[in-house]
Structure 1
Amino acid sequence: MSDKLKIGISIGDINGIGLEVIIKTLIDSRVLEYFTPVVYGSTKVASFHRKALGINDFSFNVINEAQQAHPKRANMINCWQEDVKITLGEENEIGGKYAFLSLKRAVDDLVKGEIDALVTAPINKHNIQREEFGFPGHTEYLQARTESSDALMFMISEELRVGVVTGHIPVRDIAANISTEAIVSKLALMDASLKRDFWIRKPKIAVLGLNPHAGDNGLIGTEDEEIITPAIEQAKSRGVFCFGPYPADGFFASETYKKFDAVLAMYHDQGLIPFKHIAARSGVNFTAGLPVVRTSPDHGTGYDIAGKNVASEMSFSEALFAAVHIVARRREQDVLLSNPLAARRLSRDRD
């Protein structure tokens, strides 16, 4: 039996670019030296995408369960048998239905430990909605399936790491969902993830303000003084090395982010717009705070370019290797922590 990690992959919306970036990544057989991919989808759907891309020298090894995965092949589990009408570039109910079937089967195996991590291709948050998926996105679904009390949307790249207090909610609801308790919880998750998943011994975290100029001493809103500053002080008292609140515009424009290991933004666009600009096409979405490892590319379904063979696989490839590295770090740290002498050596090496 191979000791390589099994990385599960959900295919996302079948009318988008998910299978394109999956195939473009896995067609390079060198990736199989580092992990064994298990794709949850349909060989018929994959064949449609492969032909649309003009790729003739690639195929999946069909298996029934993750334990049967061939360590030197790209494996696929057929999550349905029926023929599916694919309309590339179109948002419809069919795309959402099969995106969910892929995701559900993959998460089932993830929580059972049949795979070591999960990388999710992009879904459409509207058409995937159904009785079993009443969530704003992957992050909230994984949090519920793993029965975790909280989770952090953590965007990671070589240049920058950004987490958000509020995720996929309307802008009009942001202020009402910012609380001292929520900020402290996200800071604790971020601090723990930086230590366990990225091996940063004493992470330094920047916290952004909510209002322009971080409230300008209360002239432009009071949340920064009354909610965010107390949260920072409370987190510090619990051992989190955090600072702020910083005005978001000047913080990124002056490249102050380079002085920190991670940044906690108050809302989605405040953090993700600068992140995607700085990380270019190599960013990864990591769900921190879960007992399992899940990553995804930092882009959407790409309906406008689906089937045109122009989608870049860079972010998806980065997501795969990020999952491999995070699982490996967690396991190595667990082994070290079970050996006090080795743990002391690790601590000295990090100093």
Structure 2
Amino acid sequence: MSAQQHKPVIGISIGDLNGIGPELVIKTFADHRILEMCTPIIFTSNKVINFYRKGIPDTNFNYQNIKDFTRINHKQINIFNCWEEDVNIQPGQLTDVAGKYAVKSLMAAVQALKEQKIQGLVTAPIHKKNVQSSEFNYTGHTPFLKNAFGMQDVLMLMTSGNFRVALLSEHVPLAEAAKYVTRENILSKLNILNNSLIRDFGIDKPKIAVLGLNPHAGDEGLIGKEEDEIIKPAIKEAKRNMMVIGPFSPDAFFARRQFEKFDAVLAMYHDQGLIPFKSLAIGEGVNYTAGLPAVRTSPDHGTAFDIAGKNKADHSSFLTAIYECIDIIQQRSEYVENHKNPLKKMTNQLLANAVDEKIELSEDSEG
């Protein structure tokens, strides 16, 4: 097998046709150095790409069209045409047409992921309102992927380097968020998180923090009972199988940067986790769906209609999502290989320890 074929094949869903997704894709893959790390297949129409490419001067974005996966070129960007018809593109506008074709792209990409035609998926942003239909009745990518792969549960995990925030509940109204704070949900999410940290991020003994639901984590029951009645008992049970600590008062936890002591933190609802994450992981956060049999990442932002089609979109988060997807695929492969051959894992660990000791000795001698 050639070196080119060792690279993972990464599928890209185009997102809302009127949002910044197409621009992010073009800017990311215009730097052809990324082709040394992966083979991209963009699920869209070449007409969509050509429309947005005209608005990005001096871009070096060249591609080939394919209609089946036997024609993949591992040295080039591949456009898998999901439709042939002309589509009305209106940058910055929320239209049913743009939502319909965003779903077409996503479904084609997910089907390829399920059939292992691609090894990973990076999704460009969709808008939750205009994608709604009888075939797509979901509040976002995460619940759709959960259903597509027939999983009992999955986890929305935001990552930025060693900073990781997982969510107990995702896109639900704040008035209903407390309903999701149950022993069963907490244990399920913690199990997925712990397993993902081991398998997907290569952390042998993960250390996980759990936030409280109420201000000051309930203040010993003075400001809510959920911590004492639900969260603490769930943490106690989880401790039988993993290293987990909490519940922490959310404001102090992030303000004092306590998250730096942990491999991940489980937040009780969307904004409790996403506001500090997006504030601290400026521009380079990634949304990862943990608990799937396949790897899916996305940038940590939305369609940004206000700047769509204006060549103003920053592709940093999208590029990081590509890198994260590649890293997790490789980490999973190493995990499987190490479990097939425990001696190899032990040898790799000894080599890593030897390198660390050598670095420490050289630093001491320099001092």
Partner of residue 247, structure 2 = 245
In structure 2, C-alpha distance between the alignment counterparts of 1:348 and 1:272, rounded to whole Å: 38
C-alpha offsets along residues 83-103 of structure 1, whole Å, 9 cap, x if unaligned?
Answer: 011110011101110000000
Of 283, 290, 293, the residue aligned with 2:292 is 290
In structure 2, C-alpha distance between the alignment counterparts of 1:95 and 1:72, rounded to whole Å: 30
Radius of gyration: which is bigger?
Answer: 2
Partner of residue 48, structure 2 = 45
Matches of residues 170-189 of structure 1 in structure 2 within 5 Å?
A: 170-189=173-192
Partner of residue 97, structure 1 = 100
| Partner AA of 1:180 in structure 2 | R
In structure 2, C-alpha distance between the alignment counterparts of 1:280 and 1:162, rounded to whole Å: 14
Q: Does the 8 Å CA contact 1:160/1:278 hold for their aligned counterparts?
A: no
In structure 2, C-alpha distance between the alignment counterparts of 1:55 and 1:244, rounded to whole Å: 52
* Offset of residue 54 of structure 1: 3.0
Matches of residues 321-340 of structure 1 in structure 2 within 5 Å?
A: 321-340=323-342
Deviation >6 Å, runs of 4+: none
Of 61, 70, 73, the residue aligned with 1:70 is 73
In structure 2, C-alpha distance between the alignment counterparts of 1:224 and 1:135, rounded to whole Å: 30
Q: Does the 8 Å CA contact 2:27/2:59 hold for their aligned counterparts?
A: no
In structure 2, C-alpha distance between the alignment counterparts of 1:121 and 1:274, rounded to whole Å: 22
Q: Tell me the TM-score normalised to structure 1 length.
A: 0.97
Of 223, 227, 230, the residue aligned with 1:227 is 230
C-alpha offsets along residues 223-262 of structure 1, whole Å, 9 cap, x if unaligned?
Answer: 111111111001001x110000001101000111111010
Of 190, 197, 200, the residue aligned with 2:200 is 197
* Offset of residue 343 of structure 1: 3.3
* Offset of residue 4 of structure 1: 1.2
Q: Does the 8 Å CA contact 1:206/1:246 hold for their aligned counterparts?
A: yes
Of 236, 239, 253, the residue aligned with 1:236 is 239
* Offset of residue 177 of structure 1: 1.4
* Offset of residue 56 of structure 1: 5.2
In structure 2, C-alpha distance between the alignment counterparts of 1:8 and 1:270, rounded to whole Å: 31
C-alpha offsets along residues 275-332 of structure 1, whole Å, 9 cap, x if unaligned?
Answer: 0111100000000011000000001001000011111110000000100010011112
C-alpha offsets along residues 184-241 of structure 1, whole Å, 9 cap, x if unaligned?
Answer: 110111100000111111000010000000011111110111111111001001x110
| Partner AA of 2:271 in structure 1 | D
In structure 2, C-alpha distance between the alignment counterparts of 1:80 and 1:290, rounded to whole Å: 28
* Structure 2: segments with no counterpart, 5+ residues: 354-367
* Offset of residue 348 of structure 1: 5.5
Equivalent residue pairs, number: 350
| Partner AA of 2:230 in structure 1 | I
Partner of residue 260, structure 2 = 258
| Partner AA of 2:146 in structure 1 | Q
Partner of residue 362, structure 2 = none
In structure 2, C-alpha distance between the alignment counterparts of 1:349 and 1:164, rounded to whole Å: 36
Q: Does the 8 Å CA contact 2:31/2:60 hold for their aligned counterparts?
A: no
Q: Does the 8 Å CA contact 1:159/1:279 hold for their aligned counterparts?
A: no
* Offset of residue 63 of structure 1: 0.7
* Offset of residue 349 of structure 1: 6.3
* Structure 1: segments with no counterpart, 5+ residues: none
Q: Does the 8 Å CA contact 2:158/2:288 hold for their aligned counterparts?
A: yes
Cα RMSD (Å):
1.3
Percent identical:
49
SS in 2 for 1:119: strand
In structure 2, C-alpha distance between the alignment counterparts of 1:300 and 1:98, rounded to whole Å: 17
Partner of residue 146, structure 1 = 149
Q: Does the 8 Å CA contact 1:89/1:304 hold for their aligned counterparts?
A: yes
Q: Does the 8 Å CA contact 1:201/1:350 hold for their aligned counterparts?
A: no
Of 3, 11, 24, the residue aligned with 1:8 is 11
Matches of residues 112-123 of structure 1 in structure 2 within 5 Å?
A: 112-123=115-126
Partner of residue 162, structure 1 = 165
SS in 2 for 1:206: strand
Q: Does the 8 Å CA contact 1:195/1:203 hold for their aligned counterparts?
A: yes
